[in-house]
Amino acid sequence: MKGVLRRGKAIAVKKIFDTHLLGNDNQVKNEILCLTEVRHQNVVQLVGYCVETKLEVVEHSGKHVMAEKHACLLCFEFLCNGSLYKHLSDDTSGLDWDERDKIIWGVCRGLHYLHDKRRIAHRDLKAQNILMDDTMMPKIADFDLSRLLSQEKSRTVTAKLQGTP
């Protein structure tokens, strides 16, 4: 969804639908933590966020329990050229080899920054999660499934499969 700040700047707004968090669903928290201090030309910029939490009675495993109901809005810089997927799958996009090379190297620089400087493993990199700005500069987006790595780790192993098959 597109929004406009009071000063006239366009932003992209990602609405996380109301959810009842009974387990370890830290998807929103994870995305905010990963992006709060990230500053790189090839990573989408988090502008701000808003989280509202309410307690609500819900049924869980046959019992009524109190659960936190979250509503969240994440605000990002607006990137007018959409996802890389659109440009790769559209025959009329006309990306020449120099532009494709620039995009590939931009994604590589963004991943290098995330992994080596910020200790973040993205875990769902695909053309739909690479957004393009007005100069066709690629920016890595969608950090729902990302993981923060500890200082002593350079990789993460998971038994729970998530993301795009």
For the question of residue 134 being annotated catalytic, the response is: no
Sign of the CA dihedral running 87, 91, 96, 100: positive
The secondary structure of the chain as a DSSP string is -EEE-TTS-EEEEEEEEEEEE-S---HHHHHHHHHTT---TTBPPEEEEEEEEEEEEEEETTEEEEEEEEEEEEEEE--TT-BHHHHHH-TTS---HHHHHHHHHHHHHHHHIIIIIS-EE-----GGGEEE-TT--EEE---TT-EEPPTT-S----SS--S--
Annotated catalytic residue, options 124, 133, 134, 144: 124
> Mind telling me the catalytic residues?
124
